[in-house]
A = this chain, B = another copy of it.
C-alpha cells in the first residue's frame, strides 16, 4: 500500500484523441486550473509534436502554481505497456511505444508518475468521487467513439495480468454480429459505439435531418430518434439492448453492485437507458444480479483528470502493480 500524505495537489494529465487536458487535483477530488488544447492531428502530428502540447500545457499550468506537487497521474488511450507507461494509443497514431511515463518523470524527477488507460481512469474517478463511491464492486464504462471501462472489485482496481482489465467494449454481445476494430465479431463496441450506431442506421436508410450530412454523429442520431425517426430510434434501441447484454454478463460473472456509464452516447439519456434497462431485466435474472444499479456517470468531462490523480492520491486502492 502506498497512500501518500495529501499535503499538496497532484498534477493530472489526460491525453485523448481529440483533446489534451492538464489540471491540479486535490485530495477531495477537485480539479482546478484546468488547461486544455486540441490534440495535434494529421501526418505532421509526430511523437514530439504531440508531446510538445502536453509539455506546454504543463508549463502554462505550473506558471500559476505555487503548491508543492505530490505526484503526477496520467490517463492515456491504450494499448500501453503497463505499468511502464509506454503508450501506443489507437486514437493517436503519432505515439507508438512512446515512453510517456519516462518523459513525464524527466520533468518531475523524484516524484511518483503513474500512467493508466484513460477509460480505467474514468472508472477510478467514479469509484473514488462519483457514482460508485462507497461501493466495492463497480464497473465504470465510457460509451463514445469506442467503448471502454475499468473494474473496481473487492474495493481495489483490477489490473489483470498486464494492466488490460476492463475491456467491456470487447465483451461479445452477438457472436454473429458485425466485425469489430479488434478483429473479432459482435463485440459490444462493434454494436454500441457512436460510429457503430451511425453506420448501422445509415445502412438501414437513415439520412440525418440536421445540417451535418456526411459528418453526422451519434448525437445527430439521438436528435433524430428524439424527433421520432424510426430508424434512428431503432439504432438507439439496438445499442441499448447490447449494453444491457454486456452489463448482464459482467454483473453475473462478477457480482457487481454499480455500473456507471459516461461518454457521449450515454448522454442520449432515456433513449439509451430505457432499452438498456429492459435488456438487463431480460438477461440479469440471478437474484444477486437483478439488484445491480446501472446509472449515469456522476463526473463530467473532468472525470479523466480526477481518476488520473487518484492513481497517486489513493494509490493503495488504484495502483498495485505486481512486484
Which partner residue on chain B sits nearest A160 by CB separation? B255
This protein's copies in its complex: 2
| A1 contacts chain B at the CB level, 8 A cutoff | no
B158/A154 in contact, CB under 8 A:
yes
Judged by a CB distance under 8 angstroms, whether A288 is at the interface is yes
- Tally chain A residues at the interface, Cβ within 8 Å: 55
CB distance B282 to A165 under 8 Å? no
- Give Cα A174 to B173, complex, Å: 7
Within 8 A of B (CB), among A135-157: 135-137, 151, 153-156
How many Å lie between the Cα of A182 and that of B40 in the bound state? 50
Contacts of A180 in B (CB 8 A): 285
Are A172 and B248 in contact, CB atoms less than 8 angstroms apart? yes
- Is A269 positioned at the interface, with any CB of B under 8 Å from its CB? no
- Cβ-defined contact, A182 with B253, below 8 A: no
A252 within 8 A of B: yes
B153/A285 in contact, CB under 8 A: no
Q: Complex Cα distance A256/B320, Å?
A: 17
Confirm or deny: A250 has a beta carbon within 8 angstroms of a beta carbon on chain B: yes
Judged by a CB distance under 8 angstroms, whether A283 is at the interface is: yes
**Within the complex, what minimum Cβ distance (angstroms) separates A14 from chain B?**
22
Beta-carbon contact of B170 and A159 below 8 Å = no
Which residues of A pack against B, CB within 8 Å?
A: 79, 135-137, 151, 153-156, 158-168, 170-175, 180, 182-187, 241, 245, 248-250, 252-257, 279, 282-289, 320, 322
